[in-house]
Structure 1
Amino acid sequence: MTTSCKVSICVPTCNRPELIVECLDSCLAQTHTNIEILIGDDSSDSRTQALIETRYAHDARVRYVKNEPSLGQARNVASLFARASGDKIALIHDDDYFANDGIASLLELWQQHPQLEVAFADQYEVDAQGNVDTSKSAELNADFHRTALAQGLQKQPGRTGLVQMFPNNGWMANADLVKRISYRDDVGMCCDYVFGSELCLAASQVYYLHRYVSYYRKTDVSISHSTRGSTFAASLTAFEFVTALELDASLEPARRLALRRLAPIVVSLYAKNDAPLAALRVAFEHPYAYAYGFDARFYYHLSLIARAFITMKWRGLPPSAPRFP
């Protein structure tokens, strides 16, 4: 089954020709060879296109499309999913890459669990030059609930997405499910998290493999970094998304766990963006996020809120919530 199963590896890219070669070479080096590599290029120039045409034109598995005009992150990824012809779909971003047996390791899980719909595993953390930091890699996975004790079929697939255990790339899932959920263009920079949550909520079986299958490159240059201090931040959209979800009662603890992480970030964002009343509301509606007053962040955030009130009064502005796009 595994050798006959075709896997569509989707690679969205934007202005990273210096990094995408490592990503694509890792895909082509997979021990599971029944693959297609779909590239959606949102770049503002032709450097990536020239590189692909020069380096990979001979390999029919590489299928490149230059988006003109550019589609944006969510629509670019959605277009890749729509183009996929494989039985399974995997996603890897242009600055990240797979271990040589990454696809095979994930695909083998379907041999053990034929009804499986979604699989994911651990990610190495690497710096801009590609150097692996083993201690940070362990911390990264532990921070997102990926530990040895968690390996196996997840008892609550939806929880896996909500608490952000499911990674933003380096995963594999049934193509029909991925195409049905796809990426949403109405949630801004939060599209990765919303997709992962909705995918896991829709899946009947999700498996976490405690093994490194991909490399996550951590750099200072990314879309999320450019918006993280503003009201366009992914964390704020994620907070609104999780809050509004209609969930089965059994998943309410997962919602609470997700909001425990998100609420303090949102309080800080509101306080720093001239919305101290909104910040106060979120802080006092989610006291568990601050250990009911025993978390030092609570008092730091109160000081941010107080400063915002004083600053806005001095500027003659009402302390109302900012408008969102």
Structure 2
Amino acid sequence: MTTSCKVSICVPTCNRPELLVECLDSCLAQTHTNIEVLIGDDSSDTRTQQLIATRYAHDARIRYVKNEPSLGQARNVASLFARATGDRIALIHDDDYFTNDGIESLLALWQQHPQLEVAFADQYEVDAHGHFDTAKSAAVNAAFHRTAAAQGLQKQPGRTGLVQMFPNNGWMANAALVKRISYRDDVGTCCDYVFGSELCLAASQVYYLHRYVSYYRKTDASVSGRSRGSASSASLTAFEFVSKLTLDASLEPARRLALRRLAPIVVSLYAKNDAPFAALRVAFEHLYAYAYGFDARLYYHLSLIARAFIPTKWRRLPPSAPRFP
């Protein structure tokens, strides 16, 4: 494998030095050696700074910056992209990590397809302790349309981002394109999804490789989990983003598929946050998301909406009420 192509691996981190070690060690152990590892540290203390100084100070591939004041998720990632000097950019979050040949596997696709702009592959799902189940990981990838039958250059590059086939990290893309799209600071914790969608919509060639190249760790402290039940949820922002996108007619099925997943979540969020009229509007505008009445979630969500019309002091949900998302 040629090492002439330099890859910038961007690692945003915040208050997780104990997990960052595994992430950085996986980056430095790559079989493709022409890399730089850029770290943007948003931590509220100096533990990560001390870790870098003691463990990685003599590795010239590490380029560390302590953000003071902290930048927040989107601006931190955007700053990493801006600092990158490689021909390709890869992103990996501090609690995730690459397989040893992850970078090489993705980069090799450019030799086969010189006009390629974006590449991504499968992720193992790992628990907080680093354990993973191969069967469960396969099921999770399949749920996001990552299957053997889908491997190859994508006929509709933009579709991969809209339907969340494109992963939140563990991908690779041309540096110029990544820098042009970058992360947006106006979409909250939905910035990963918005970036992935806009990146793939802007790309002329996107390749999906049916092979594991990274590990995605699910933890209680994940960014996506902090506002899941609130009116500022990433799902609500994603719903609004997809709904308002100007798309070519050929991508309307992809929009519909994305909204089929998002609409019921948004209905539930509106109902639980005392916005019953908004919940009703979304539910009836997207009845296909409930199989036109054959999905039990519709009736549960209608009960939540009805409850939202009742003054708070009179509400009382029966203990045996079903729990749907």
Question: One fold, TM greater than 0.5?
Answer: yes
1:241 aligns with 2:232: no
**1:283-322, CA deviations, whole angstroms, 9 ceiling, x for partnerless residues?**
000010000000010011001101111135959xxxxxxx
What is the aligned partner in structure 2 of residue 82 from structure 1? 82
Whether the aligned pair in 2 keeps the contact of 1:2 and 1:111 (CA below 8 Å) is: no
Q: Which amino acid aligns with 2:215?
A: Y
- SS of equivalent to 2:86: coil
- Deviation of 1:76 after TM superposition, in Å, equals 0.1
**Number of matched residues?**
315
Q: Which amino acid aligns with 2:26?
A: S
**1:7-40, CA deviations, whole angstroms, 9 ceiling, x for partnerless residues?**
0000000000110000000000000000000000
1:267 aligns with 2:267: yes
What is the aligned partner in structure 1 of residue 318 from structure 2? none
- Deviation of 1:222 after TM superposition, in Å, equals 1.8
Stretch moving more, 301-310 or 190-199: 301-310
What is the aligned partner in structure 1 of residue 212 from structure 2? 212
Runs of at least 5 residues in structure 1 that lack an aligned partner in the other structure:
316-325
What is the aligned partner in structure 1 of residue 319 from structure 2? none
Stretch moving more, 223-232 or 9-18: 223-232
Rounded Cα–Cα distance in structure 2 between residues aligned with 1:157 and 1:7: 22
What is the aligned partner in structure 2 of residue 303 from structure 1? 303
Residues 88-127 of structure 1 correspond to what in structure 2 (within 5 A)? Answer: 88-127=88-127
- Deviation of 1:220 after TM superposition, in Å, equals 1.3
Rounded Cα–Cα distance in structure 1 between residues aligned with 2:294 and 2:88: 46
Task: Tell me the C-alpha RMSD between the 2 structures.
Answer: 1.1
Runs of at least 5 residues in structure 2 that lack an aligned partner in the other structure:
316-325
**1:178-220, CA deviations, whole angstroms, 9 ceiling, x for partnerless residues?**
0000000000000000000000000000000000000000111
Q: Which amino acid aligns with 2:199?
A: L
What is the aligned partner in structure 1 of residue 203 from structure 2? 203
Residues 1-325 of structure 1 correspond to what in structure 2 (within 5 A)? Answer: 2-311=2-311
Whether the aligned pair in 2 keeps the contact of 1:120 and 1:208 (CA below 8 Å) is: yes
Percent of pairs with identical residues:
88
Rounded Cα–Cα distance in structure 1 between residues aligned with 2:2 and 2:108: 7
Off by >3 Å, runs of 4+ in structure 1: 311-315
What is the aligned partner in structure 1 of residue 322 from structure 2? none
- Deviation of 1:132 after TM superposition, in Å, equals 1.4
Rounded Cα–Cα distance in structure 2 between residues aligned with 1:131 and 1:86: 32
Q: Which amino acid aligns with 1:8?
A: S
What is the aligned partner in structure 2 of residue 320 from structure 1? none
- SS of equivalent to 1:268: helix
Rounded Cα–Cα distance in structure 2 between residues aligned with 1:273 and 1:224: 18
- SS of equivalent to 1:119: strand
Whether the aligned pair in 2 keeps the contact of 1:82 and 1:179 (CA below 8 Å) is: yes
Whether the aligned pair in 2 keeps the contact of 1:2 and 1:107 (CA below 8 Å) is: no
Stretch moving more, 236-245 or 215-224: 215-224
- Provide TM-score, normalisation by structure 1: 0.96
- Provide TM-score, normalisation by structure 2: 0.96
Whether the aligned pair in 2 keeps the contact of 1:120 and 1:167 (CA below 8 Å) is: yes
Q: Which amino acid aligns with 1:277?
A: F
Rounded Cα–Cα distance in structure 2 between residues aligned with 1:231 and 1:192: 18
